[in-house]
Chain A
């Protein structure tokens, strides 16, 4: 079974700072997802990656398949970025997700 770890567990940043959240997994995957969960609980999918790098606005996600590692970067962070960021991987059969424990980000004005 895949084990998914995230670091850091909690992160507090000042507005405008560059933020990096890391995710590592133990077994080969078909895809990795980065999710955002706001305090109300709803989850939004930010990225799905199987290789390389993706960018959407101030968010950048990268994945290194050989090292079984992915990073989520937020440039010019803003208080509205405050949320829990969750890494989830799909196994090579593509049926189920395994979720990381999440990284709680607080961006202070």
Chain B
């Protein structure tokens, strides 16, 4: 079956520390992969999407980067976290004209 794993579920990191959030997909191949952020009280904002290995598009300039080293692995990173990076991060995958599947999310608090 098709599943998506995202970890960790919660994370508290000091300002200036690095970040790595990982998302893996099972049961499908060549999915479109997405990273979203949801700030408190706000809607979902697209950060990155990928249509294939090493093919990353960024929607907004920011302190974050994404990589897709394998077909079903999508990583969100930062070299130095800012307070404004706090939020809820969601990974998702979909094929064109199919259901979208979301991870359980990571609640990141930068202190």
A107-B94 Cα distance, complex, nearest whole Å: 31
Within the complex, what minimum Cβ distance (angstroms) separates B32 from chain A? 6
Interface size of A as a range: 20 to 34
A82-B46 Cα distance, complex, nearest whole Å: 25
- Name the CB-closest residue of A to B103: A42
A50-B99 Cα distance, complex, nearest whole Å: 11
Residue B44 lies at the interface, judged by CB distance under 8 Å to chain A: yes
Asked if A41 meets B105 with Cβ closer than 8 Å, knowing A95-B32, A96-B46, A99-B44, the reply is: yes
- Select which of A40, A43, A101 is within 8 A of B102 by beta carbon: A43
The number of A-B residue pairs with CB atoms under 8 Å apart is 59
Within the complex, what minimum Cβ distance (angstroms) separates B71 from chain A? 17
B residues 17-71 near A (Cβ < 8 Å) are 32, 34, 36, 38, 42-44, 46, 49, 51
Asked if A30 meets B102 with Cβ closer than 8 Å, knowing A41-B107, A100-B43, the reply is: no
CB neighbours (8 Å) of A33 from chain B are 99-100
Within the complex, what minimum Cβ distance (angstroms) separates B36 from chain A? 8
Is the CB–CB distance between A41 and B88 below 8 Å? yes
- Name the CB-closest residue of B to A100: B43
- Name the CB-closest residue of A to B104: A42
Residue B97 lies at the interface, judged by CB distance under 8 Å to chain A: yes
